[in-house]
Structure 1
Amino acid sequence: MNNFSSEETISALTKLGLYQVAGGLIGFLLIGWTMINGGSINFSMILLFTIVFLFFGYSVYAGWLCLKINKKAFRHSMINQIMQVIGFAILGFGFQYAAGLYLTIGIDLTDSIQLGFGAGISKVDININRHYERLEVNLNLIAFALIYWIDKNWRKAKEEALLQNFS
């Protein structure tokens, strides 16, 4: 269902869709490579790979909606990027997700205050009951910028739809 009329909005959705699909597919490749080279596979590993697969699958889904110029594309893309904007590790639990490029800046309070940076392509880092002493927070600057960009284009698309309804 296409409610978008301007070429600018359609172009923005296409670019966003390609980015999210590519990030998810790269994530799938990383999962496969990890499974092949990871050694023994048990139930907890299968559960973890399934969770990671779902994260990257959601990125592909959000991208697919964008490529189909679906009215839900901006909403799902926003959710996908919000899940990627903050990474953390606290009291043995940690989470960081990126489907596509990531550029992180963070603060590590484990031993002292240390500023850290990271960059790469597609990753999921989930820690449960590991590294209890670790205390850090990361901000994915690319996801943050994409949230701003999605919001700007989503607002513009809503204005277009409003104008189209009054015409």
Structure 2
Amino acid sequence: MIRNIQLTKYVDKQYVGAVKFLAYYQIAGGVLGIALWAWMVAHVQNVSGIYLLIVAMVLWEGFSIYCGPLVLQQPARGLRLSAINQAMQIFSFAVNGYALKYVAGAGFMLGMDLTAAPKFLCNLTLSSLEITINREHDLVTLGINVVAVYLLFLCNKQLGLLRSQPAA
């Protein structure tokens, strides 16, 4: 159960709604990610080689779920961990057969596909974790999740305001 604390004691009044949104967004994003993975595993015929990926996904999505209530219960610690969570979601890449893309919640990805002729990419996505090892060696892409950049900015701005307040 999420303890109900007076966020206005810790968070600038103009950001209380945004901080609450961040908390619930992270919980929902993590739950959605785990639900999507559970659905996918239930519909895959051969699951033998996917166990390590499932463990990684549960840990990453679980971290997002953990950060949500923490923002509401212990804003300073929760915002620090949320900033880490959002930073892990900013960049995606695929190069020389290796790829990584992590989104917990919604993602608005802007990037470049440099595989053949450079082309601009623009994608909307929901919770996902894509890890590729030793596949699609010719694929070269770089991307930035604009949603994660904004949420990281929000976390850092609020952390700065928390640090500038005198100790009670």
Determine if the TM-score, normalized by the shorter chain, exceeds 0.5. yes
Matches within 5 A, 1:100-119: 100-119=105-124
Gaps of 5+ in 2: none
Gaps of 5+ in 1: none
Give the number of equivalent residue pairs.
Answer: 162
Q: Tell me if the contact between 1:13 and 1:69 (Cα under 8 Å) persists in the aligned partners.
A: no
Using the alignment, how far apart are the partners of 1:100 and 1:75 within structure 2? Answer: 18
Aligned to 1:136: 141
Using the alignment, how far apart are the partners of 1:89 and 1:131 within structure 2? Answer: 9
Aligned to 2:35: 29
RMSD of aligned C-alpha atoms? 1.9
Q: Tell me if the contact between 1:102 and 1:142 (Cα under 8 Å) persists in the aligned partners.
A: yes
TM-score, structure 2 as length reference: 0.89
Is 1:63 matched up with 2:72?
no
Secondary structure of 2:38's match? helix
Q: Tell me if the contact between 2:76 and 2:159 (Cα under 8 Å) persists in the aligned partners.
A: no
TM-score, structure 1 as length reference: 0.89
Structure 1 residues 46-100: Cα deviation after superposition (integer angstroms, max 9, x where no partner): 1111111111011001112112234311110000000000000010000000001
Q: Percent of pairs identical after alignment? A: 28
1:5–1:121 distance in 2 versus 1, CA, 3 Å: closer
Select the residue among 86, 91, 97 that pairs with 1:81: 86
1:6–1:105 distance in 2 versus 1, CA, 3 Å: closer
Aligned to 2:56: 51
